A and B are shown apart, each in its own frame.
Chain A
Amino acid sequence: EAGVAQSPRYKIIEKRQSVAFWCNPISGHATLYWYQQILGQGPKLLIQFQNNGVVDDSQLPKDRFSAERLKGVDSTLKIQPAKLEDSAVYLCASSSVIGGEQFFGPGTRLTVL
């Protein structure tokens, strides 16, 4: 069984630029999560989808971050415009049901200069 796929693995941009990350969850997993992991900290949930609907986006900075999962399968997280403090690893996870075990992808490391 293939795991959670994320791309790109690394991204370097300048502040005020835009960036997008892609996640393909494990096949059949209805629930998808995006986390932000700043260096030296644990992951922080940004947004949770159930199929193509948002379950929780209370910690998503909506003035610059957006995410979508239009067909209820893969998902894109976008930052526009990026700030220095957005430098982090962005992790995607999926689970078969809400409340099920979460499986994590390898993450995308973003550096904002």
Chain B
Amino acid sequence: AQSVTQPDIHITVSEGASLELRCNYSYGATPYLFWYVQSPGQGLQLLLKYFSGDTLVQGIKGFEAEFKRSQSSFNLRKPSVHWSDAAEYFCAVGHNNNDMRFGAGTRLTVKP
């Protein structure tokens, strides 16, 4: 069965510092992988997705993620965090956009 693990419940980084949010997945076939962001009181917004091809995926708001099949990982990165990036981040795995399974989320706090 497919599943997603986000090992870090809460991460705090200073504004301007780099960020990496971890995501590990379990899936029986070639996975479709996603990162979503959820700000307080808002719905989820898609940051980026990986279906095939180049394993380094660029998304919105300066985020990128790298698919590493050997490690079953799809970590999200940003070189310089802004205060507005404070939010909850969810990794998801699925068959294209169907049957998506979400991780428990990582809450990002940005220190001034």
Our verdict on whether A and B bind, yes or no, reads: yes
**A residues near B, CB below 8 A?**
3-4, 40-45, 48, 56, 91, 93, 95, 98-107
**B residues near A, CB below 8 A?**
4, 41-46, 49, 90, 92, 96-105
Chain A binding surface SS class: loop
Contact of A45 among B4, B41, B99 (CB under 8 A): B99
Contact of A43 among B97, B98, B99, B102 (CB under 8 A): B102
Return 15 A-B CB contacts under 8 Å, by A number. A40-B104, A42-B92, A42-B103, A44-B102, A56-B99, A91-B43, A93-B43, A99-B98, A100-B97, A101-B46, A102-B100, A106-B41, A106-B42, A106-B43, A107-B43
Chain B binding surface SS class: strand
Closest chain B residue to A99 by CB distance? B96
A43 x B96 contact (CB < 8 A): no
Task: Provide the bound-state CA to CA distance between A102 and B92, in Å.
Answer: 12
Within 8 Å CB of A45, what residues of B? 99-100
Task: Provide the bound-state CA to CA distance between A48 and B57, in Å.
Answer: 28
A102 x B45 contact (CB < 8 A): no
Closest chain B residue to A104 by CB distance? B43
B4 x A42 contact (CB < 8 A): yes
Within 8 Å CB of B41, what residues of A? 106
Candidate in B45, B103, B105 with the most chain A CB atoms within 10 angstroms? B105
Minimum Cβ distance to chain A for residue B6 (Å): 8
Within 8 Å CB of B92, what residues of A? 42
Task: Provide the bound-state CA to CA distance between A45 and B98, in Å.
Answer: 10
